[in-house]
Chain A
Amino acid sequence: MENIIETPKLALTKQDFESDRMVKWCPGCGDHAILKAVENVFPELGIPKENFVVVSGIGCSSRFPYYMNTYGVHGIHGRAAALATGVKLANPELSVWMITGDGDSMAIGGNHFIHVVRRNPDINILLFNNKIYGLTKGQFSPTSPEGSKTKTSPQGTYEAPFNPGELVIGAHGKFFARVVDTNIKMMSQVFTEAAKHKGTSVVEILENCVIFNNQIHALITSRETKDENQLFLEAGEPMIFGKERDKGIVLRGTNLEVVKIGENGITEKDILVHDPCTEDSGIHVMLASMMPPEFPAALGVIRSVKSHTFEELVWNSVEHEKKTSKLKNVDDLLHTGNTWVKQ
């Protein structure tokens, strides 16, 4: 007979995770909505509340741990990925969440970011992408569009931006998703998927900075244009979008293309069906690269591929060595090799 072990449903609520600290983000900042979504998700994951650890780097978003009633570390600029890796390796039982921004993880912490993705520890990374430096008051970031006029680029930037999804997939990432800060429901759904994924999951949140980069994602998020510019991906579903749900994505040659269903003989059957689980990252990276006005922005889980995690491999090795090593304690170790007795 099969033994079914049921995880007892933990009677946790949103209130279990709310901190008593005053939240000091600017009114209207996307961070507030993200915080709400996270507070929605945590009680539903079946994880004891003392097993959550929220870590961050530096930036507006990185104040996040102070606003959650969990274990948490507010780290130093760019290094949250290393902090998270240390926590997770030291105790794989913990549910580790890393909060970071486009400056923290794409600029000063770019190195750690690609390496954590490559190693694939089971860490959930929420990347708040507002395409600007907020905490230092309005300088361009590595995701600011080329030509962005900011305090440090009065004539516009001269550099090409990073697209976080391309970086994740380029670094052999197994999970990448994208959401908008204007949709708490979407965030909650995708954060839950990210939490359930074993391995490093990166969720890029297209976030608005009301003060220094207002409406940067307006084309994707505003009421008027969002339907035409958001493609919410779901596994096994055709990539259809538009207010009238009459537009879709097809693969033509080696490129993606937007088509209208019903025109030029295109039917729903011609539309690409989303498969986030395929190992091949070709379509995933193309989806991650899509941006208005030519394309809708791909939202939801773009890539979710199963793989072993870093800590799993390390700890399997620990267990194996414990079983097979002749050295049972440090005294044994001190006595290995050439020793001699002085009478």
Chain B
Amino acid sequence: MSDKKDRIIELKNAVIRFAGDSGDGMQLTGSLFSDSTAIVGNDFATFPDYPAEIRAPQGTVSGVSGFQIHFGDMDIHTSGDQADVLVAMNPASLKANMNWITREAIIIVDTDAFVEKNFKKAGYDENPLTDGSLLGHLVIEAPITTMTKEAVKDLQLDNKSAQKSKNMFALGMVFFMFNRDYEGTFKFFEDKFKSNPLVVEANKKVLLAGYHFANTIEAFANTYKVEPAPLKKGLYRNVTGNLATSWGFLAAAERSGRNLFLGSYPITPASEILQEISKHKQFTAIAFQAEDEIAGIVSAIGASYAGSLAITTTSGPGLSLKSEAIGLAVMTELPIVIVDVQRGGPSTGLPTKSEQSDLMQALYGRNGEAPVIVIAATSSSDCFYAAYEASKLALEHMTPVILLTDGALANGSEVFLIPKVASLPEIAPPIVKANDPDYKPYKRDEKKLNRPWAIPGTEGLRHRVGGLEKEDITGHVSYDPLNHEKMIKLRQEKVDRVAEYIPELSVIGEKEGDVLVVGWGGTYGVILTAIEELREEGKKISFAHFKHIMPLPKNTGDVLSKYKRIVVCENNLGQFVNYLRMNFPMYDYLQYNKIQGLPFMVAELKAHFNSLLNE
């Protein structure tokens, strides 16, 4: 056996996809590989791809669960278009992923699972390993199940438990392939299965068996290495979008001195936020799992009235149910953040897939003139800052804020530079002091036009709010026609003026020229990658990405005016482009849309932009 060091190939980046039956533990395998990627110092992004059903029929294509990681020695903004390495634990996972791997991808399969009955379940007529369909691929055939059982035979586990760790065999093989150290993973086993030393032992043995197997069979012509990425100095961790969102709120509560109150109802793909906040009562964060979506937001409005940083979390169908209550928060001018983790719609749609199709609902989906601030997180780690900023804007401007994320950001993960909470911008809500003689419920701040926040329990500030139209300044119920028009304009103006408190739109590339690519929210990473690659190839193309939707950044019109052609890319039929058309009708807009429940791919964006540039 030659020294494997002689055969190490350095890669700039690589994409690995772990795929198996939804009970095969592929998500854990992927996240353990991510952890080891972090230790190596690569930048990376991940994306899980799992079925809506918890356990779809075993062995079928609909039951395949996948986890993709893209890592590199440079800034990584996406989880990767197509995988360079596919681990397929059964025929169904091979079949489900053939479109998601490169033509030269290395495929690792568990040959024990490649048997007649599984071919049928997966919809193969013949054994795909022998029918020539994998021509061009390097296929590593490993009897993973058999060897896993063999590795733990001394431990006297029952058959089922013994097989359970076969995912670690695959992980061991990939660790060898990428010259990874497994000590960190061993540490994970020790922590995770503290109460069950047998399981710790089994997982270690199986992982090592996989590692040594890969070394011994010499099936890999080469092993690979990806050097550390030039990330900024500091302390890093891996976060999913939902985790980052949760922590952004906790940070905002701490920084604003308000207790966090989350009123919510479980819904895919937003439930993890409710689950995460539920864990943190030590920060006086209260997570109230309500009886439905409506009670979720209405309880939050109650908590907001009582002085909390109040939030509610949901996905598209839940946002529909919350519409009336958002109107109440608009009228009562109470701070609240509504998180919509967008998924494929309409109706129940594609619960586990991602889309950007709730934009119009967020902007306008209410009765009456009911303006709210709308912001959209741009990456999994940006969810932290977006949640923080949404809270700051809600509290300081006394208005509902809708924060749009999406399924891809929520479940995808990326490297996160851990900030110090004290370094985040100050949050100063307009809380009224006891017995303030000048207090009037709807007397506004001259600059922000927000109303003051008088919190129950405070002496001398008793007042009533509600959904009926309010008289200017006093807040009494008023049916006066002119007062109504005035209040409508004031509420709109209050939201419009937020433009003074958000960053201007920045442009990557030439500040004026031929083509400006525009995106918003969760598509940032993939569009940026496409633009960076094109620019490296010498193409002249610029990119502006929107995080702030309502209001738009002040310089939006200026930026748009500088380019001959504007192409707006989004995962819907063109909701943002139409919003721009409405606000800036003087420009022509091209659009590029994809509505398949899947993120854009870098390659398809590049191809489209290239065709534009070549016109």
Contact = CB atoms under 8 A, between A and B. Distances in A.
Contact of A50 (B261, B300, B418, B457): B457
Contacts of B115: none
Nearest to B34: A338
Nearest to B325: A76
Nearest to B465: A73
Contacts of A74: 464-468
B162 interface: no
A85 B299 contact: yes
Contacts, number: 205
Interface string B494-526: 000000000000000000000000000000000
A75 B306 contact: no
Given A74-B466, A333-B250, A50 B461 contact: yes
Interface residues of A, number: 60
Nearest to B384: A334
A341 B418 CA distance: 10
A338 B302 contact: no
B456 interface: yes
Interface string A24-38: 000000000000000
B251 interface: yes
Contact of A87 (B281, B291, B303): B303
Contact of A91 (B281, B307, B328, B476): B307
Given A86-B261, A325-B282, A330 B251 contact: yes
Contacts of A58: 467
A328 B284 CA distance: 11
Taking chain B's interface residues, is the majority helix, strand, or loop, or is none over half, making it mixed? mixed
Contact of A318 (B284, B290, B461): B284
Interface stretch (B12-20, B35-43, B197-205, B593-601): B35-43
A335 interface: yes
A90 B460 CA distance: 20
A79 B295 CA distance: 7
Given A75-B328, A112-B291, A340-B41, A87 B456 contact: yes
B46 interface: no
Contacts of B607: none
Contact of B464 (A73, A88, A93): A73
Nearest to A58: B467
A51 B455 CA distance: 10
A50 B460 CA distance: 7
Contacts of B380: none
A172 interface: no
Given A115-B295, A321-B281, A90 B237 contact: no
Nearest to A327: B282
Contacts of B467: 58, 74-76
B268 to A, nearest CB: 21
Name the residue among A320, A322, A329 with the largest chain B CB count within 10 angstroms.
Answer: A329
A103 to B, nearest CB: 16
A94 B306 contact: yes
A267 interface: no
Interface string B448-482: 00000000111111111111100000001100000
B233 interface: yes
A66 B464 contact: yes
A233 interface: no
B456 A79 contact: no
Given A65-B464, A75-B328, A331-B421, A338 B259 contact: no
A337 to B, nearest CB: 7
B585 interface: no
Contact of B307 (A49, A50, A75, A90): A90
Contacts of B300: 86
Nearest to A83: B302
Nearest to A79: B298
Contacts of B305: 53, 71, 73, 83, 86-87
Nearest to A93: B457
Contacts of B286: 89-90, 314, 318
A317 B281 contact: yes
Interface in A200-250: none
Nearest to B246: A333
Q: Chain B, interface size: which category?
A: 35 or more
Nearest to A112: B295
A55 interface: yes
Interface string A263-301: 000000000000000000000000000000000000000
A331 B420 contact: yes
B418 A339 contact: yes
A21 B332 CA distance: 19
Contacts of A330: 247, 250-251, 254, 283, 421
B294 interface: yes
A49 B461 CA distance: 11
A55 B462 CA distance: 13
B456 A94 contact: yes
A334 B292 CA distance: 31
B189 interface: no
B295 A82 contact: yes
A83 B301 contact: yes
A335 B459 CA distance: 40
Nearest to B454: A71
Contact of B456 (A71, A89, A317, A338): A71
Name the residue among A53, A76, A324 with the largest chain B CB count within 10 angstroms.
Answer: A76
B235 A340 contact: yes
Contacts of A314: 286
Contacts of A341: 234-236
Interface string B406-434: 00000000000011111000000000000
B464 A86 contact: no
Given A66-B464, A327-B282, A330-B247, A50 B233 contact: no
19 contacts: A19-B464, A48-B459, A55-B302, A73-B305, A75-B298, A76-B324, A82-B290, A86-B301, A327-B280, A330-B254, A330-B283, A333-B283, A335-B237, A338-B35, A339-B237, A340-B39, A340-B237, A342-B232, A342-B234
Interface of A: 19, 21, 48-51, 53, 55, 58, 65-66, 68-76, 79, 81-91, 93-94, 111-112, 115, 314, 317-318, 320-322, 324-325, 327-331, 333-335, 337-343
Given A91-B456, A115-B291, A340-B237, 7 more contacts: A72-B466, A75-B328, A82-B299, A90-B261, A90-B286, A111-B291, A330-B421
